[in-house]
Amino acid sequence: MTSFVVLIEGPVLQGQSFVSALRFMQQAVLAGHTVDSVFLYRDAVHAASALIDLPSDEPNLSARLQQFCCQHQIPLLFCVTAAEKRGVCSNEVQPAQGYTAAGLAEFAMRLAQTDKLVQF
């Protein structure tokens, strides 16, 4: 079976990036493949914000991603530099539960140990 690293770059509150990534990961796991890690980069790092407060009629894709990764024991990483630039995390603001800060070097090391990269 194939192992994947999933890279998400699109924003969590608009577009298809998170929906498509979640669907891909669900189908990959059902087919017996593994998702070794998920890495959020660029505007996708907003999903790691603990300050997301959506109306009840809007899907919380950040929470859905976190739940899926927790259920399947998939590390959910976000680029700390991109997050700091966007005010998502700092010394005063911590990331949402389940999200782990990482650098591009860690992403590269994980990528070197997997079969394929899938980017959204």
* Per-residue pLDDT at 100: 96
* Per-residue pLDDT at 22: 97
* Per-residue pLDDT at 28: 98
**9-23 in b/e burial notation, b at 16+ Cβ within 10 A?**
bbbbeeeebbeebbe
DSSP 44: G
* Per-residue pLDDT at 90: 79
* This prediction's pTM: 0.93
Name the stretches of the chain with pLDDT < 70. none
Domains of the chain: 3-119 (3.40.1260.10)
* Per-residue pLDDT at 109: 96
The catalytically annotated residue of 69, 70, 79, 89 is 79
Distance between CA atoms of residues 110 and 5, nearest Å: 8
Q: Catalytic site residue 70? A: no
